[in-house]
Amino acid sequence: MGVLIVDPGRLSARLDLETPPQTDDGQGGATGGWELAASLWGRIEPLRGVPGEVAGASIAPVTHRVTIRYRDDVRHAMRFVHRGRSLVIRAVRDPDESRRYLVCDCEESQP
């Protein structure tokens, strides 16, 4: 597998990495809000919007690829916040197993 080449100057979006609420509310849900885990630099690439319908309502979730420097604490279901937009992490991978960068597949969530 080839080495992923990323120009560090392209990591120009200031992102807040947040962890999901972890406090059990006793009824199968969670209470509390998102907690800031780190502020970091990354690159956001919009990929596609897929129109669809859920419960009779039209939706068009937008997917993004977010590239950041490697961190070992980034997990599925965390989110990035950028300029008021929330990008929920659906998958995390180290594309060339070099522990230099992480590529996160994200979906923009509605506020």
Confirm whether 3 is domain-assigned.
no
Tell me the CATH number at 98. Answer: 2.40.10.270
Confirm whether 56 is domain-assigned.
yes
Confirm whether 2 is domain-assigned.
no
Sign of dihedral through CA atoms 53, 57, 63, 68?
negative
With tokens 């960068």, the residue in question is 101
Domain count, the chain: 1
Confirm whether 5 is domain-assigned.
no
| pLDDT value at residue 61 | 76
Give 44's strand partners. 66
Confirm whether 70 is domain-assigned.
yes
Confirm whether 90 is domain-assigned.
yes
Closest CA to 10 of 68, 56, 50: 68
Closest CA to 108 of 65, 64, 66: 64
Q: Using one digit for the tens of pLDDT, what is the confidence trace for 11-59?
A: 999 999 999 877 776 776 666 789 999 999 999 999 987 666 666 666 6
Confirm whether 37 is domain-assigned.
yes
| Domain containing residue 63 | 11-109
